Amino acid sequence: MKDKKHIIILFSIVLGLLIIGFAVRLFLQPSSYGKFGNYRWDANKEIQMKPVLNQNSHTCAECHNDIYQLHEKDAHYNVPCVDCHGAGNVHVAYYKGDSLKGITKEQAFLEKEYKLEGCLYCHRKLKARPSDFPQINQEEHYKFLRVTDSKTKCIECHSPHEPVFLLTDVKKSRIHPVVYRCTECHDKKPEKGPKEVENHPTIFECKDCHSKVVEDFNSKPHSKYMDCRTCHLYHKENETTGRIYKNGNAKFCLLCHEKKSFKDEKYPPKIEWPSHIGNSKIIAKSDEKICLNCHMDKVHQMDLKVKENPHEVNWIKNHKTFAAENKAVCQRCHTVNNCSSCHMKTKPASHKDEWRKQHPKFAANNKSSCQTCHMKDGCSSCHKVEMPHPKDFGDTHKDVVAIKGKTLCFNCHKQEFCDECH
Amino acid sequence: MDKIERRQFIKLGLVSAAGVICGSFFAFADSDEKIDFTSGDDLKKFTWGFIVDTTRCIGCGACVRACKIENHVPDTFFRTWVERYEFDKHEKIRVDSPNGAIESFKENNFDESEIVKAFFVPKLCNHCLNSACTQVCPVGASYESPDNVVLIDQERCVGCGYCVQACPYSCRYIDHNKGVADKCTLCYHRIHKGEAPACVNACPRNARMFGNLQDPNSKIRKIMQQRRYGVLKPDLGTNPKCYYIGLDKEVK
What does the pLDDT look like over A241-289, one tens digit per residue? 778 877 778 888 888 888 888 888 877 888 887 777 765 556 666 667 7
Domain enclosing residue A37, as ranges: 15-42
Q: What is the pLDDT of residue B13?
A: 55
Domain edge (last residue) among A293, A315, A341: A341
Q: What is the pLDDT of residue A93?
A: 84
Nearest neighbour of B105 by CB, restricted to A43, A44, A126: A126
Q: Do A82 and B66 touch (CB under 8 A)?
A: yes
Same domain, A257 and A336: yes
For residue B142, tell me if it sits in a domain: no
CB atoms within 10 A of CB A201: 8
> How many folded domains does chain A comprise?
5
pLDDT interval class at B196 (50, 70, 90): very high
Q: What is the pLDDT of residue A308?
A: 52
Contacts of B198 in chain A (CB under 8 A): 53-54
Nearest neighbour of B189 by CB, restricted to A36, A47, A126: A47
Mutate to test the interface with B, among A48, A116, A237 (most CBs of B within 10 A): A48
Residue of A nearest to B191 (CA): A48
Instruction: Indicate the burial class of B211 (C-beta count within 10 angstroms; 0-12, 13-18, 19 or more).
Output: buried
Same domain, A300 and A334: yes
For residue B56, tell me if it sits in a domain: yes
For residue A310, tell me if it sits in a domain: yes
CB neighbours of B51 closer than 8 A, spacing ≥ 6?
B208, B209, B210, B220, B223, B224, B229, B242, B243, B244, B245
Average pLDDT over residues B43-69: 93
Q: Do B202 and A187 touch (CB under 8 A)?
A: no
- Helices within A74-164 (DSSP H only): 82-85, 89-95, 105-108, 116-123, 138-144
Nearest neighbour of B58 by CB, restricted to A45, A82, A130: A130
For residue B88, tell me if it sits in a domain: yes
CA distance B101 to chain A (A): 10
For residue A346, tell me if it sits in a domain: no
Q: Residue B30 pLDDT > 60, yes or no?
A: no
For residue B149, tell me if it sits in a domain: no
For residue A6, tell me if it sits in a domain: no
For residue B139, tell me if it sits in a domain: no
For residue B40, tell me if it sits in a domain: no
Lowest mean pLDDT segment, chosen from A226-235, B13-22, B65-74, B128-137 = B13-22
Same domain, A258 and A336: yes
For residues B87-97, one letter each, b for 16 or more C-beta atoms within 10 angstroms of the residue's C-beta and e for the rest, the string is bbeeeeeeeeb
Mean pLDDT of chain A: 79
Q: What is the pLDDT of residue B183?
A: 95
pLDDT interval class at A368 (50, 70, 90): low
CA distance A177 to chain B (A): 21
Q: What is the pLDDT of residue B28?
A: 42
Domain edge (last residue) among A202, A232, A247: A247
Q: In what order do the strands lie in the sheet with B229-230?
A: B208-212, B48-53, B242-245, B229-230
CB atoms within 10 A of CB A115: 13
Q: Residue B19 pLDDT > 90, yes or no?
A: no
Same domain, A265 and A319: yes
For residue B39, tell me if it sits in a domain: no
For residue A1, tell me if it sits in a domain: no
Q: Which residues of A touch B (CB under 8 A)?
A: 33, 35-41, 43-54, 56, 76, 78-80, 82-83, 86-87, 117, 120-122, 124, 126-130, 133, 187
Instruction: Indicate the burial class of A233 (C-beta count within 10 angstroms; 0-12, 13-18, 19 or more).
Output: buried
CB B134 within 8 A of CB A37: no
Q: Residue A372 pLDDT > 70, yes or no?
A: no
Domain enclosing residue B68, as ranges: 48-129+184-245
Kindly provide the ipTM of the predicted complex, given to two decimals: 0.81
Same domain, A335 and A359: no
CA distance A401 to A418: 11
For residue A101, tell me if it sits in a domain: yes
CA distance B75 to A389: 83
> How many folded domains does chain B comprise?
1
Nearest neighbour of A128 by CB, restricted to B119, B143, B156: B119
For residue B114, tell me if it sits in a domain: yes
Q: Residue B1 pLDDT > 60, yes or no?
A: no
For residue A48, tell me if it sits in a domain: no
For residue A280, the SS3 value is: coil
Same domain, A168 and A233: yes
Q: Residue B27 pLDDT > 50, yes or no?
A: no
Average pLDDT over residues A151-167: 81
For residue A350, tell me if it sits in a domain: no
Q: Residue B140 pLDDT > 80, yes or no?
A: yes
- Helices within chain B (DSSP H only): 2-31, 40-43, 62-71, 132-136, 162-166, 188-191, 198-202, 219-226
CA distance A162 to A67: 9
CATH number at residue B208: 3.30.70.20
Lowest mean pLDDT segment, chosen from A402-406, B57-61, B81-85, B199-203 = A402-406
